[in-house]
């Protein structure tokens, strides 16, 4: 994928993250900026951002800042990119960030064809319990529905008045009306916490690189509004995609042969992992002699990004596999066992939070 082809609505895989980051002027992620970096930060999965020092200073000086993400209630499944986002939101929540999670029921209706009523139902029954099961604190997370937040709608209309059609085409490559509405509504969401506090407040949006166009459009708009001193430019942080297990694209439900969802059937998980692209050699003898080409291995990437928390444990797996001490079948079995454990806990936690949905802190308007 070239730097010009970043598509928030597509499934393409980026081949050169460094090139894309340079093209859009993103700053390289520096783990030294943040205390106790999480797994994704430590392992280079989080690789770039914008205005990260502003958030770092807020954490160090214990000054107010916010972290925001969204729920797209178009499917009752999550992909692992969403898990990465939630884990990064959780990190900033633990560092003192005021946490907002919006349910994009308007955006889902405009861009995905899911009615507002159906989107709300899915969010309450699945997405909100799922985000809590992935680690967000039920007592410290503000949830709201786009359709109920008149302030977001007002902010979106204000943004629409100042963004030209050519600017929109320059960011997204097309000007589909539903996507225009989706994009300006996202601007309203990203700056809503500042309007809520009636003053500029630092805020960070952790996303996959495919969502960078939304952040860029928002920052361009805020640059135009700089003279009003009403808003502070938003910060952002980007993670790499988890490739499909067949190595063809970022993991997506549109490619079932290479996709693992959250939740998922254990038999399907085992089937996908067992048929995944690996860096193993043609024969066991050759593998023992030469070791694995670990950089080509989708199963190792899954372990690295999501399933092995301990750096020491991951390093041992890496060394054993790369040296030939471990075979591809053994690596796959480790992944199946760890994925089974993860999904079992996720399902248990999600059922618990479903029963606690009345305890969720919804903003009222």
Q: Is residue 220 located within the same domain as residue 144?
A: yes
Q: Is residue 362 part of a domain?
A: no
**What's the confidence (pLDDT) of residue 253?**
56
| Final residue in a domain of this structure, among 213, 241, 269 | 241
Q: Is residue 46 part of a domain?
A: yes
Q: Is residue 22 located within the same domain as residue 78?
A: yes
Q: Which residue has the tokens 């914008």?
A: 50
Q: Is residue 215 located within the same domain as residue 267?
A: no
Give the structural domain span for 328.
256-351
| Final residue in a domain of this structure, among 187, 218, 241 | 241
Q: Is residue 175 located within the same domain as residue 290?
A: no
Q: Distance (Å, rounded) from C-alpha 46 to C-alpha 135? A: 18
Q: Is residue 213 located within the same domain as residue 296?
A: no
pTM attached to this predicted model: 0.92
**What's the confidence (pLDDT) of residue 24?**
86
Q: Distance (Å, rounded) from C-alpha 254 to C-alpha 251? A: 9
Number of C-beta neighbours around residue 35 at 10 A: 12
Number of C-beta neighbours around residue 133 at 10 A: 22
- Tens digits of per-residue pLDDT, 42-89? 999 999 999 999 999 999 999 999 999 999 998 889 999 999 999 999
Q: Is residue 364 part of a domain?
A: no
Alpha carbons within 13 A on the beta-carbon side of 341: 10
Of 3-7, 234-238, 303-307, which gets the smallest average pLDDT? Answer: 3-7
Alpha carbons within 13 A on the beta-carbon side of 54: 20
Q: Is residue 311 part of a domain?
A: yes
Instruction: Tell me the CATH number at 275.
Output: 1.10.240.10
For residue 301, give both structure tokens. 């990437």
Residues with Cβ < 8 Å from 361, sequence gap 6 or more? 138, 139, 141, 142, 143
Q: What is the number of structural domains in the chain?
A: 2
**What's the confidence (pLDDT) of residue 9?**
55
| b/e per residue 227-263 (b: at least 16 CB within 10 A) | eeeebbbbbbbbbbbbbbbbebbbbbeeeeebbbbbb
Q: Is residue 180 located within the same domain as residue 137?
A: yes
**What's the confidence (pLDDT) of residue 174?**
77
Does pLDDT of 111 surpass 80? no
Instruction: Tell me the CATH number at 125.
Output: 3.40.50.620
Does pLDDT of 3 surpass 60? no
- Tens digits of per-residue pLDDT, 327-348? 999 999 999 999 999 999 999 9
- Tens digits of per-residue pLDDT, 171-205? 888 777 878 888 899 999 999 999 999 999 999 99
The verdict on whether omega for the bond into residue 263 sits within 30 degrees of 0, i.e. cis, is yes
Q: Is residue 38 located within the same domain as residue 107?
A: yes
Q: Is residue 326 part of a domain?
A: yes
Q: Is residue 180 located within the same domain as residue 83?
A: yes
Residues with Cβ < 8 Å from 15, sequence gap 6 or more? 1
| Final residue in a domain of this structure, among 211, 241, 271 | 241
Q: Is residue 359 part of a domain?
A: no
Q: Is residue 44 located within the same domain as residue 189?
A: yes
Q: Is residue 192 located within the same domain as residue 304?
A: no
Q: Is residue 251 part of a domain?
A: no
Q: Is residue 202 located within the same domain as residue 273?
A: no
**What's the confidence (pLDDT) of residue 249?**
60
Q: Is residue 341 part of a domain?
A: yes
Q: Is residue 297 located within the same domain as residue 228?
A: no
């Amino acid at each position: 994928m070239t730097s010009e082809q970043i598509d928030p609505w597509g499934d393409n895989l980026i081949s050169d993250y460094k090139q894309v980051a340079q093209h859009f002027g993103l700053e390289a992620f520096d783990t030294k900026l943040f205390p106790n970096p999480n797994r994704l930060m430590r392992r280079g999965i989080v690789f770039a951002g914008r205005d990260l020092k502003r958030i770092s200073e807020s954490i160090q000086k214990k000054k107010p800042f916010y972290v925001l993400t969204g729920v797209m209630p178009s499917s009752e499944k999550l992909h692992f990119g969403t898990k990465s986002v939630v884990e990064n939101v959780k990190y900033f929540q633990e560092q003192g960030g005021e946490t907002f999670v919006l349910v994009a029921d308007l955006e889902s209706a405009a861009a995905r064809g899911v009615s507002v009523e159906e989107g709300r139902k899915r969010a309450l029954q699945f997405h909100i319990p799922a985000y809590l099961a992935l680690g967000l604190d039920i007592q410290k997370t503000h949830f709201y529905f786009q359709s109920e937040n008149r302030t977001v709608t007002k902010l979106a209309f204000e943004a629409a008045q100042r963004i030209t059609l050519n600017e929109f085409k320059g960011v997204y490559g097309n000007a589909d009306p539903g996507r225009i509405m989706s994009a300006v509504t996202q601007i309203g969401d990203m700056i809503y916490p500042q309007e809520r506090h009636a003053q500029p407040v630092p805020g960070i949006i952790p996303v996959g690189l495919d969502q960078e166009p939304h952040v860029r459009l928002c920052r361009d708009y805020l640059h135009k509004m700089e003279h009003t001193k009403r808003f502070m430019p938003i910060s952002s942080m980007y993670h790499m995609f988890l490739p499909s297990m067949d190595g063809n694209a970022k993991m997506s439900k549109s490619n079932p042969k290479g996709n693992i969802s959250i939740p998922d059937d254990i038999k399907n998980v085992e089937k996908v992992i067992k048929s995944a692209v690996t860096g193993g050699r043609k024969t066991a003898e050759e593998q023992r002699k030469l070791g694995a080409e670990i950089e080509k291995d989708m199963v190792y990437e899954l372990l690295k990004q999501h399933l092995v928390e301990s750096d020491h444990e991951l390093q041992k797996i890496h060394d054993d596999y790369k040296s030939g001490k471990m075979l591809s079948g053994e690596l796959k079995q480790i992944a199946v066992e760890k994925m089974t454990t993860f999904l079992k806990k996720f399902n248990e936690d999600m059922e618990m939070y479903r029963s606690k949905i009345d305890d969720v802190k919804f903003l009222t308007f």
